[in-house]
């Protein structure tokens, strides 16, 4: 029996963490921006949102529009639809990503715990004075399957479907390529995944590019 496919944000979250320890490979704020981009891409692929087709401005400054406000049946995706629908004006892609990313890391993790894909464990140190919460995977199969699809894509063994091509782009711009555990040179593989993602629909490319720019802004702000 084939496994159901997780939302793009959930696959990205799992690939961005160590399977055994649950520790993140990248900064949580950077990952949260990627998760917000993944939510938007899933909504675009589901026909719920689009970017203003008459807008020729840079990717991050394009207006985000609802194509339909019909719910998806996913708490986080439907919250995203509601945030766009109830906004005072159509948000720009950059502004929406930064706002929606605010607590998205925690919400995504909570959803994965509720689904039984992650488990919450508590470890006490220093004689019980310090507590560490960890969220390791209950079963590595979800991350393994996502990595396998990217591996087949990189090797040219499969044609990229929309979901996997989008995942490739987000993994590349977030600097997660090294954690796919492939033998390829990381720089070359990252470039290859970006090339695959670059053949996607323009709105998906714009969302991925805006995530890339927002993560870059975050890194710049850190070193100021």
Domains and CATH numbers, the chain: 8-139+202-222 (1.10.3630.10)
Q: Mean pLDDT across the stretch 26-36?
A: 97
pLDDT digits (tens, 9 = 90+) for 187-210: 888 888 888 888 888 899 999 999
pLDDT confidence of residue 221:
66
CB 17 within 8 A of CB 146: no
Q: What is the mean pLDDT of residues 78-103?
A: 91
1 pLDDT above the threshold of 50: no
pTM: 0.92
Query: Is residue 112 pLDDT above 70, yes or no?
Result: yes
Across residues 134-155, what is the average pLDDT? 91
Mean pLDDT value across the chain: 89
The alpha carbons of the chain give a radius of gyration, in whole angstroms, of: 18
Better-predicted residue by pLDDT, 171 or 218? 171
Query: Does the pLDDT at position 94 exceed 90?
Result: yes
Residues 15/147, Cβ–Cβ less than 8 Å: yes
Q: Where are the beta strands (DSSP E) in 90-190?
A: 121-125, 130-134
> Averaged over 71-98, what is the pLDDT?
91
Closest CA to 207 of 9, 26, 23, 18: 9
DSSP-derived secondary structure letter, 92 = B
Q: What is the pLDDT of residue 186?
A: 84
pLDDT at 128 over 70: no
């Amino acid at each position: 029996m084939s496994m159901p496919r997780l939302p793009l944000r959930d696959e990205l979250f799992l690939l961005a963490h160590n399977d055994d320890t649950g520790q993140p490979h990248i900064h949580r704020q950077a990952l949260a921006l990627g998760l917000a981009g993944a939510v938007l891409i899933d909504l675009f692929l589901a026909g719920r949102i689009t970017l203003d087709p008459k807008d020729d401005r840079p990717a991050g400054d394009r207006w985000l529009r609802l194509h339909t406000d019909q719910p998806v049946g996913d708490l986080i995706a439907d919250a995203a639809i509601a945030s766009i629908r109830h906004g005072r004006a159509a948000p720009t892609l950059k502004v929406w990503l930064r706002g929606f990313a605010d607590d998205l890391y925690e919400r995504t993790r909570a959803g994965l715990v509720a689904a039984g894909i992650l488990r919450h464990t508590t470890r006490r140190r220093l004689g019980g004075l310090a507590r560490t919460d960890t969220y390791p995977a209950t079963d590595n199969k979800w991350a393994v399957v996502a990595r396998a699809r990217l591996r087949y894509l990189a090797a040219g063994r499969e044609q990229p479907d929309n979901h996997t091509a989008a995942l490739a782009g987000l993994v590349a711009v977030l600097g997660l390529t090294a954690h796919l555990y492939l033998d390829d040179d990381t720089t070359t593989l990252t470039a290859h995944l970006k090339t695959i993602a670059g053949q996607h629909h323009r709105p998906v490319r714009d969302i991925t590019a805006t995530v890339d720019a927002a993560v870059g802004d975050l890194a710049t702000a850190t070193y100021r």
